[in-house]
Amino acid sequence: MPALPDPSMANDPTQAPPRRIAHLDMDAFFASVELLRYPELRGLPVVVGGRHRWQPQPLAGGGWHFARLRDYSGRGVVTTSTYEARALGVHSAMGMMKAARLAPDAILLPARFDAYREYSRRFKAAVAAIAPRIEDRGIDEIYIDLSDHAQPDSEALAADIQRAVLEATGLSCSIGISPNKLLSKLASDMRKPGGITVLRMHELASRVWPLPAARINGIGPKAAARLRQLGIVSIGELAAAPPQRLQQHFGRSYAAWLVEASHGRDARPLITDSQPKSISRETTFERDLHARRDRAELSAHFTELCERLAADLRAKDCAARTIGVKLRFEDFRTVTRELTWPFPLLAAADIRRAAGQCLRRVELGSRLRLLGVRASGLVERDDAAAQARGGAQLELLDPPPG
Ligand code: TTP
Ligand code: MG
Ligand code: MG
Domain ranges within the chain, ordered by starting residue: 18-26+115-204, 30-112, 211-262, 278-396
Query: What is the 112 CA–ligand 1 centroid distance (Å)?
Result: 14
Contact indicator for 200, 19 with CB cutoff of 8 Å: no
Query: What is the 110 CA–ligand 3 centroid distance (Å)?
Result: 19
**What one-character-per-residue DSSP string does 306-347 give?**
HHHHHHHHHHTTEEEEEEEEEEEETT--EEEEEEEEEEEE-S
CATH 3.20.20.210 fits 278-396, yes or no: no
Report the nearest-CA residue for atom 7 of ligand 1: 28
From the alpha carbon of 192, which atom of ligand 1 is closest? 10
Q: How much is the average pLDDT of 325-346?
A: 91
From the alpha carbon of 83, which atom of ligand 1 is closest? 10
CATH 3.30.70.270 fits 18-26+115-204, yes or no: yes
pTM of the complete model = 0.70
Q: Residues whose CB is under 5 A from ligand 3 (ion)?
A: 25, 140-141
Q: How much is the average pLDDT of 24-46?
A: 98
Given 34, 84, 141, 338, which residue is catalytic?
141
Contact indicator for 81, 144 with CB cutoff of 8 Å: no
Contact indicator for 53, 93 with CB cutoff of 8 Å: no
Query: Given pLDDT bands bounded at 50, 70 and 90, which one contains residue 274?
Result: low
Query: Given pLDDT bands bounded at 50, 70 and 90, which one contains residue 5?
Result: very low
User: 209 in helix, strand or coil?
Assistant: coil
Ligand nearest to the CA of 48: 1
- pLDDT of 81 reads 98
- Quick check: CB of 188 below 6 Å from ligand 1? no
Alpha carbon distance 352, 372 (integer Å): 12
Q: How much is the average pLDDT of 327-350?
A: 91
**pLDDT tens column, 154-191:** 999 999 999 999 999 999 999 999 999 999 999 999 99
Alpha carbon distance 69, 19 (integer Å): 46
Q: Helix crossing, 221-229 with 243-250: angle to 10°?
A: 130
CATH 2.40.37.10 fits 30-112, yes or no: no
Write down the H helix ranges in 1-52. Answer: 29-37
Residue 378 clears pLDDT 80, i.e. is over it: yes
Alpha carbon distance 323, 339 (integer Å): 6
Q: Helix crossing, 295-315 with 348-359: angle to 10°?
A: 130
* pLDDT mean across residues, the chain: 90
23, 27, 29: residue to mutate for ligand 1 pocket, most atoms within 8 A of CB: 29
CATH architecture of 211-262: Orthogonal Bundle (1.10)
Ligand nearest to the CA of 116: 1
Q: How much is the average pLDDT of 15-21?
A: 85
- Quick check: CB of 119 below 6 Å from ligand 1? no
- Quick check: CB of 140 below 6 Å from ligand 1? yes
Give yes or no: 141 in active site: yes
Q: Find how far residue 77's CA is from the centre of its chain.
A: 27
**What one-character-per-residue DSSP string does 107-141 give?**
EEE---HHHHHHHHHHHHHHHHHH---EEE-STTE
78, 139, 140: residue to mutate for ligand 1 pocket, most atoms within 8 A of CB: 140
**pLDDT tens column, 229-247:** 999 999 999 999 999 999 9
- pLDDT of 383 reads 47
From the CB of residue 22, how many other CB atoms can be counted at a distance below 10 Å? 27
Contact indicator for 79, 111 with CB cutoff of 8 Å: yes
- Quick check: CB of 116 below 6 Å from ligand 1? no
